[in-house]
Amino acid sequence: MGPIEAALSTGYRAELHERLGSTNDEAMRRAREGDPGRLWIIARQQEQGRGRHGRNWVSPPGNLYASLLLVEPAPAGVAPQLGFVAGAALHRSVAGLIGPASAGLSLKWPNDLLLDGAKCAGILVEGVSWPGAGLRAVVIGMGVNLAHHPETALYPATDLAVRGFAVSVEDAAAALVRNMAAAIELWNRGAGFAAIRADWLARAGGVGGPVRVRLPGGERRGVFKGLAEDGSLLLDEGGVVAAIRAGDVFLGADGSAVGAGARSETHEGAGL
């Protein structure tokens, strides 16, 4: 079953394109044109891919680039939780594709997926608003490094092929479509976020260990204590626990056990 069939079986729609500028941009365009949502935009190649803070990244053929358009999915205050919904679904999807090697998979706050400490997938959540009407739609973009990864990146990166897994775009997209539908149903417009939060934490890396958070005003170091009820990172700075809503996170004593190369966005950001 391919992604289009998988989407239809879960009450969604899907389009598979050979090439697009950006799957997120295309989904946002559809939202502004009045698309009812529950639509997957999937591409084999992107020409204008972007990540958090407008960072560019290479989007060659062979990787998965997918964006889900949801129209009025929840009140604006809880819409950022969709990053964690997507993270849990992304972990389940890749774990199902690589089997026993999934023991090396972990989620990095707020929404990167690591394989043995290097990034193999990530998420970019963006909102579409109308003047005077507030949040109208949310676009959840996900990229999975199936066959390629950047050699030069902000953090170490990897892909599934270099680890010995031959995964097609179609199979990866179908798995993501199915798992995302289940996670959105569990989330239930925010009513089920406690269950999503617990699921995310069970798959997270670095909990209880040292972490460095890069913020606009400098860096903060401490111990990653988990997630607050709203999804903020809890940072224990010598007995004082702070809730961090946005930042670049570096796990480990040297702050290097993280990855990049797909998509990434902060919890508070995402244009919501």
**Dihedral angle, C-alpha 70, 75, 80, 83, nearest 10 °:** -40
Residue in 243, 244, 241 with CA at minimum distance from that of residue 215: 244
In terms of C-beta density within 10 A (0-12 exposed, 13-18 middle, 19 or more buried), how is residue 102 classed? middle
Percent of the chain with pLDDT over 90: 74
User: Tell me, what's the pLDDT at 129?
Assistant: 86
What are the chain's domains? 3-202 (3.30.930.10), 210-251 (2.30.30.100)
The lowest-confidence range among 133-137, 202-206, 212-216 is 133-137
- With 80 as the cut, is the pLDDT of residue 261 above it? no
- Residues 10-27 have pLDDT tens digits of 999 999 999 999 999 999
Residues 207-234: what's their mean pLDDT?
A: 94
| CB 107, CB 179: distance < 8 Å | no
- With 50 as the cut, is the pLDDT of residue 260 above it? no
The length of the chain, given as a count of residues? 272
Strand duo 134-144 + 118-130: pairing: antiparallel
Q: How many other C-beta atoms are found inside a 10 Å radius of the C-beta of residue 218?
A: 7
Backbone angles phi, psi at 65, to 5 degrees: -125, 115
- With 80 as the cut, is the pLDDT of residue 132 above it? no
Phi-psi region of 133 (alpha: psi -120 to 50; beta: other; left: phi over 0): alpha
- Alpha-carbon distance of 246 to 196, in angstroms, equals 19
* Structure tokens that stand for 45 in this block: 């190649």
Residues 21-46: what's their mean pLDDT?
A: 95
Residues 165-173: what's their mean pLDDT?
A: 97
